[in-house]
Chain A
Amino acid sequence: MLLTRLVVLVLAVGSIAWMAEKPARPLRTQDGPILPRRELLEVLGAAQRPLLADFYWIQAIQQVGRANTAAEYRDVFFYSDLATDLDLRFRYVYEWGAISTPFNLGREQWVNVDLSSRLLTKGLTAFPDDRRFLFQLAYNKMAYDKEYKIAADLLMRLSKFPDTPRHLPQLATRLYAQAGNFDTGLQMAEMLLESAEDEESRAFYAHRIKEILRERVLTQIDAAITAYEKERGARPKKVPDLVITGYLKQMPEDPLEGQFFIDRHGRARSTSGLYRLEMYDHAKKQELREDLAAGGIQIDETEDSP
């Protein structure tokens, strides 16, 4: 009898050991991890909301540890979102989740940035004056989403706080120009010029106003080049060609006293500054270097005449 029991016991233990395996990954659908509804957790965990928020916060951290793909990094957002739903004041989760969620597919192709921005926007409703959220969201809008106007607005909001670096409003004016909001950019630059406390800042904003005005002209020349190319099937060689053919009413003047020309990619530029008033990432800087080396950016002698 005892022997039979022992055999059954050994068989049972053997079966358990044989069937034992590592814990399964959390269940997920194509849209994200399967998580309990927030409303359910709020009812069941009404007395323990900080504890539940901590639990999903720890889950978010664990998810970063096991994530390898864009979809798995995407899940970090859902855990962070739930943790912050349960505790709106859990500040660190917004910041950490927003930084961890974006995923680089290679060649600076970023995904999940929309979710990162969503988390930061949600964080800003709970902490409207959080400088880190404002800056991170501005960075997302500027570097990933290319929504320069929103990024500029956020940076201007950020620049109103005391002791913020003075390059922030400067960057904002550049972003307004990049977004095509020249009037806003000019207004901001004029306002900043008036309120500048030192000579260096005043000189910067005086120059920035001229840069914005120049960028507005460059954008008009770009539009004329596009129209010329579309109708005539060839790219104009010089800016005066656009005036002669009527795509520009008159020879444009550079507020910074440079000369306008068309580079080898068909973009308008000026000799007063090789960099246009836009965001330059690594690839764009490289392209500019190549243009310079190839002679694509040079002053055309004939540009002197209208």
Chain B
Amino acid sequence: MSAFIAMAWNGFREARRNRVTVLVGAFALLLLFATTLVTEVTVSTFDRVVTDFGLGVMSLLLVFLSIYLSSGLISREIERRTIFLMVSKPMSRTRFLLARLAGNMLTLGVLLLAMTLLFWVELVLHRSPITQPQLAALWGLYLELFVLTCAGFLMSTFASQLVSALVTTGLYFAGHLCSDIYNLGVKSKVELVQWVSKATYYSLPNLERLNFRPRATYAIDVTAAELGTATLYALGWGVFFCVLASIVFERRDFR
């Protein structure tokens, strides 16, 4: 277990040393500060604008970072041949994969926490309330980052960084639009189209289930049941991607 923690911690340190992580973190903090300027040019809807811009900036940048980090992690190890050092150790490849995933999620979690603290400072300065749906939206964002990271990991076990990043980005958009595919499909009179649209919907992670930002916009409470089912749903997809990733990674020949 200590080897697992050491590797996860190492992954976190590695990500922290990565210039992109630092840049994204700095940029996000700067943008959150800039939200103050946005409130200067709006009328009457300050609470809403601060909430939307704060959560929106966090979401956009962390999603970008999660795709970048997850898609490059394993493929970079393979390209640099550092993977040989790892696979030669007395540790299963799955454990290595999960440790890297944990390191990645730790990096994203720490950044999300830092941004959340700044976001709260801003809310307090604007005398806007910190609401339950905002907390739910932050948790939902972390779950979304988890699903995307797992998908990126799966891709990076057998594809290059560019391909992994492209596919994971596609999954991000498809995940947020899959309910539209379903709704459009069921309106069709052709049974095959209905069937295909339903199959597409269920075979993609519905990331809108984890998106509580519109609720935060209108301060509509998110129930414990909704949060619980969303968490289980995200965990299910994450585990599914991880299992596939470990199967591919275990069978991969690095010679």
Query: At the interface, yes or no: A110 with Cβ under 8 Å from chain B?
Result: no
Confirm or deny: B194 has a beta carbon within 8 angstroms of a beta carbon on chain A.
no
A57: chain B residues at CB < 8 Å are: 42, 45, 49
Binding site secondary structure of chain B: helix
Whether B217 pairs with A47 at a CB distance below 8 angstroms is no
**Given A43-B173, A58-B49, A50 and B214 contact (CB-CB distance below 8 Å):** yes
Q: How far is the CB of B169 from chain A (nearest CB, A)?
A: 12
- Give chain B residues whose Cβ lies under 8 Å from the Cβ of A96: 43-44
Please tell me if the beta carbons of A50 and B213 are within 8 angstroms of each other in the complex. Answer: yes
Q: Is the CB of A48 within 8 A of B60?
A: yes
Q: How far is the CB of B156 from chain A (nearest CB, A)?
A: 22
**B59 cross-chain contacts in A, Cβ below 8 A:** 47-48
Q: In whole angstroms, what is the CA distance A44 to B177 when docked?
A: 9
Q: Are A61 and B56 in contact (CB under 8 A)?
A: no
**Any B CB within 8 A of the CB of A126:** no
Interface residue SS majority, chain A? helix
Q: How large is the interface on B (under 10, 10 to 19, 20 to 34, 35 or more residues)?
A: 20 to 34
Q: When A47-B176, A61-B42 are in contact, do A54 and B49 touch as well, CB less than 8 Å?
A: yes
In the complex, what residues of A have CB within 8 A of residue B38's CB? 54, 58
Q: Which residues of A contact B52 (CB under 8 A)?
A: 50-51, 53-54
Q: Which of A38-88 contact B (CB under 8 A)?
A: 43-44, 46-51, 53-54, 57-58, 61-62, 87
Q: Is A89 an interface residue (CB 8 A)?
A: yes
A61 touches B207 (CB 8 A): no
Residue ID in chain A nearest B41 by CB atoms: A58
By a beta-carbon cutoff of 8 Å, the part of chain B in contact with chain A is 38, 41-45, 48-49, 52-53, 55-56, 59-60, 63, 172-173, 176-177, 207-208, 211, 213-214, 217-218
Q: Please name the 7 residue pairs, one residue from A and one from B, whose CB atoms are nearest each other, closest first.
A: A51-B56, A46-B176, A50-B217, A50-B52, A47-B176, A54-B52, A51-B52
